[in-house]
């Protein structure tokens, strides 16, 4: 095995670091094409607002969880206690940089749906859906509930890892991130399907996501192999699940853009103008009634 050979270990560690920074660059770069496209078009047509709504929540949670695993002595000691075979977490500094950078970019993209801030044209139906809002606030309440469990039901106010502990709060943040990854793509898939078009929505983030997903999984597998302990994956299920889910949805988006809706029947702008007109007519009708 590679971990029995000192030179092989050093080489594998170098490959792991390279993969880590490559996926960091790929995933970090994936945040830019869409807001830049919105800026040039001066509108957000074609982008489902549910996508950045869940992204803001997910990446905020991910940034906090990665920071805790890297910089909190309490969380690191509790992780080591629960994983005695291999007490070092597989979280890396590039994970934190990616999460923090992503959280900032997600806020910027979400803000583009507010004309008072950017002056962009926003579609009449580009409003967060009720299911997404329910999920958003349910996640917030779940996090608060786990915090209360650790604080009031945990041993030594959550500092003893034998019971409810602060590391469980950090794990919950990670699971919220994973949930948002699973759900955030669905509204965009639906918008593309409904319009039979991907105009106004950029494919480049998905291509970079696809590359980053494989690079992230590669780094995680190498790190776990070096430790000769696959609890590096079970102890870091968020990174493992994040890479897999991202790859699956990227394939769907690639098929939509390059195969299914390669020749859309009409432009998104024309369709949105019709939606705006319908909304205005409905508003006038309701006022008359």
Domain ranges of the chain: 2-288
Alpha-carbon dihedral 30, 34, 36, 37, rounded to 10 degrees: 140
Is residue 160 over pLDDT 60? yes
Tokens representing 67 are: 């920071």
pLDDT of amino acid 282? 44
Q: How far apart are CA 147 and CA 163, in angstroms?
A: 13
Q: How far apart are CA 8 and CA 4, in angstroms?
A: 8
Q: What is the mean pLDDT of residues 161-183?
A: 90
* Residue 260: burial class (beta carbons within 10 Å; 0-12, 13-18, 19+): middle
Mean pLDDT of the chain: 84
Residue with more model confidence, 70 or 231: 70
Is residue 26 over pLDDT 50? yes
* Whether the Cβ atoms of residue 168 and residue 78 lie closer than 8 Å to each other: no
SS3 (DSSP) at 261: coil
Q: How far apart are CA 111 and CA 115, in angstroms?
A: 9
pLDDT of amino acid 94? 78
Residue 201 CB partners (closer than 8 Å, separation 6+): 34, 46, 47, 188, 191, 192
Segment 229-262, tens digit of pLDDT: 666 555 556 656 666 777 889 999 999 999 999 8
The alpha helices in the chain, defined as continuous H runs, are 6-29, 33-41, 50-71, 73-82, 93-111, 115-118, 130-148, 166-195, 204-226, 231-234, 237-255, 268-288
* Whether the Cβ atoms of residue 155 and residue 167 lie closer than 8 Å to each other: no
Winning range, highest mean pLDDT, from 88-97, 187-196, 214-223:
187-196
pLDDT of amino acid 269? 53
Q: What is the mean pLDDT of residues 70-77?
A: 92
pTM, two decimals, is 0.78
Bridge partner list, 121: 43
Q: What is the mean pLDDT of residues 106-116?
A: 94
Q: What is the mean pLDDT of residues 152-176?
A: 90
pLDDT of amino acid 242? 64
Q: What is the mean pLDDT of residues 127-137?
A: 94
Ramachandran angles phi, psi of 153, nearest 5°: -110, -15
Q: What is the mean pLDDT of residues 13-38?
A: 88
The Cα-based distances of 229 to 50, 222, 262 in angstroms read: 38, 11, 45
């Amino acid at each position: 095995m590679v971990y029995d050979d000192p030179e092989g270990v050093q080489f594998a560690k170098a490959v792991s670091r390279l993969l880590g920074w490559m996926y960091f660059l790929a995933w970090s770069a994936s945040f830019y094409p869409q807001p830049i496209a919105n800026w040039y078009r001066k509108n957000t047509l074609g982008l489902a607002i549910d996508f950045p709504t869940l992204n803001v929540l997910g990446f905020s949670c991910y940034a906090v969880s990665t920071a805790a695993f890297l910089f909190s002595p309490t969380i690191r000691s509790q992780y080591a206690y629960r994983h005695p075979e291999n007490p070092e977490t597989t979280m890396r500094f590039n994970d934190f940089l990616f999460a923090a950078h992503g959280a900032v970019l997600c806020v910027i993209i979400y803000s583009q749906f507010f004309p008072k801030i950017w002056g962009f044209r926003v579609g009449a139906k580009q409003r967060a859906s009720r299911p997404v809002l329910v999920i958003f606030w349910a996640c917030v309440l779940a996090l608060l509930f786990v915090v209360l469990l650790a604080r009031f039901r945990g041993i030594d106010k959550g500092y003893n890892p034998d019971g409810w502990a602060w590391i469980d709060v950090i794990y919950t943040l990670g699971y919220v991130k994973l949930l948002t990854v699973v759900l955030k793509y669905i509204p965009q898939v639906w918008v593309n399907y409904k319009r039979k078009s991907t105009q106004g929505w950029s494919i480049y983030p998905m291509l970079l996501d696809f590359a980053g997903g494989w690079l992230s999984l590669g780094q995680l597998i190498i790190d776990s192999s070096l430790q000769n302990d696959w609890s590096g994956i079970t102890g870091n299920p968020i990174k493992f699940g994040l890479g897999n889910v991202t790859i699956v949805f990227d394939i769907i988006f690639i098929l939509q853009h390059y195969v299914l809706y390669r020749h859309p029947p009409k432009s998104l702008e024309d369709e949105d103008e019709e939606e705006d007109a319908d909304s205005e007519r409905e508003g006038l009708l309701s006022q008359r009634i």
